[in-house]
Amino acid sequence: MKKPQGVVEQSKKMSTLVSFSGIDGSGKSTQIEALSSRLREAGLSVRVLTFWDDIALLRNFREFSSHAVFNGQKGVGSPGNPVDRRDKNIQSWYMTVFRCFLYFLDALRLGISARRARASQKDVVIFDRYLYDELANLPLTRSLVRAYVRQLLKLVPRPDVACLLDAEPEQARIRKPEYPLEFVRRNRLSYLALSELVGGMTVIDPLPAPQVAQRVLGEVLKTIASRQGQLISNLQEPAVAGLTAPVNQPSVSGIARH
């Protein structure tokens, strides 16, 4: 198939992997939709993989433990419908051990899925959350946990662009009221600590959605040009307009995020 004007065919097809991570309510869904639309408008093929739908294992068991064991509420929180979730915010030594086991299984599956995605016929594969979003639930202040994280990361390919959408906890919780504010604050600090441990993540400061979209698009275009030998001339000066504040439309409701 002939590419539209402004797109130069690369000599060897290897998909560019892009991941979006961040606390609940940081605007991942909005930015993924914006990036996908812009890239498709440029004639690129895009696939979106959702971690909780396409990667996470033992989902029914996780959901059962959240609702039956910890008495968490089902559903997805919204400004008009707060939800009291009890899964990743339950912190104890035995939950840390349990999470390490689950995350190991997820890492194995993610490694397979990410390598298949890179070898696919898509120009860009976007991950709605990545292994990073699980690792941020661990107590990263402990040296043994940090050592575990380093080993686990060896099982999965590093995304070509790993976006960490930073957000003010108060605003994020207003958009998605599911966890206590104090936990959201701690979770944000954990994400930032993880980005330093991982290295190479693109941390995007809390900004209006159009500015975040422009920053994300710029990072992705730069990576495509360097990795795939593509030049997307009609997107070099992105005009990301008309975007609204982040919305939250997760594809699976009620999944327990241990």
CATH number of 113's domain: 3.40.50.300
Residue 72 lies in a domain: yes
Q: What percent of the chain is predicted at pLDDT more than 90?
A: 68
Give the integer Cα–Cα distance in Å for 35 and 96. 34
Q: Which domain holds residue 133?
A: 16-235
Whether 84 is in a domain gets the answer yes
Alpha-carbon distance of 217 to 204, in angstroms, equals: 12
Q: What's the pLDDT at 257?
A: 61
**Mean pLDDT confidence for 73-77:** 73
Side-chain-side CA neighbours of residue 47 (13 Å) = 17
Q: Which two tokens stand for residue 242?
A: 């008309």
Please return the burial class of 33, using the count of CB atoms within 10 Å of its CB with bins 0-12, 13-18 and 19+.
middle
Q: Is residue 221 part of a domain?
A: yes
Is 118 a residue whose pLDDT tops 50? yes
Residue 33 has pLDDT above 60, yes or no: yes
Model confidence at 234, in pLDDT bands (50, 70, 90)? Answer: low
pLDDT at res. 74: 72
Q: Is residue 113 part of a domain?
A: yes
- Domain total for the chain? 1
Residue 65: which pLDDT band, with cuts at 50, 70 and 90? confident
Is 212 a residue whose pLDDT tops 70? yes
What does the pLDDT average to over 215-227? 92
Q: Are 255 and 35 in contact (CB under 8 A)?
A: no
Indicate the range of 68-77, 101-110, 160-169, 193-202 predicted with least confidence.
Answer: 68-77
Q: How confident is the model at residue 13 (pLDDT cuts 50, 70, 90)?
A: confident
pLDDT of 84 reads 87
Average pLDDT of span 138-157: 97
Token pair belonging to 230: 């593509």
| Among 164, 48, 51, CA closest to 106 | 51
Statement: residue 39 has pLDDT above 80: yes
Residue 109 maps to a domain = yes
The answer to whether position 71 is within a domain reads yes
Q: Rounded to the nearest 5°, which phi and psi values hold at 239?
A: -110, 90
Per-residue confidence band for 253, with pLDDT thresholds at 50, 70 and 90: very low
For residue 108, the model assigns a pLDDT of 98
Q: How confident is the model at residue 1 (pLDDT cuts 50, 70, 90)?
A: very low
When pLDDT is averaged across residues 243-255 and rounded to a whole number, the result is: 39
Secondary structure string (H, E, C) spanning the chain: CCCCCCECCCCCCCCEEEEEECCCCCCHHHHHHHHHHHHHHCCCCEEEEEHHHHHCCCHHHHHHHHHHHCCCCCCCCECCECCCCCCCCCCCHHHHHHHHHHHHHHHHHHHHHHHHHHCCCCCEEEEECCHHHHHCCCCCCCHHHHHHHHHHHCCCCCCCEEEEECCCHHHHHHHCCCCCHHHHHHHHHHHHHHHHHHCCCEEECCCCHHHHHHHHHHHHHHHHHHHHCCCEHHHCCCCCCCCCCCCCCCCCCCCCCC
- What is the per-residue pLDDT for 63? 78
Q: Does the structure show a pLDDT above 80 at 173?
A: yes
Write down how long the chain is.
258
Residue 210 domain-assigned? yes
Of 11-20, 23-32, 40-49, the range with the lowest mean pLDDT is 11-20
Q: Is 256 inside any structural domain? A: no
Give the CA distances from residue 24 to residues 27, 83, 91, 103, 125, in Å, rounded to whole numbers and listed in that order: 8, 13, 17, 19, 22
Residue 62 has pLDDT above 90, yes or no: no
Residues 106-122, mean pLDDT to the nearest whole number: 96
Using only the alpha carbons of the chain, give its radius of gyration: 18
State percent of the chain over pLDDT 70: 83
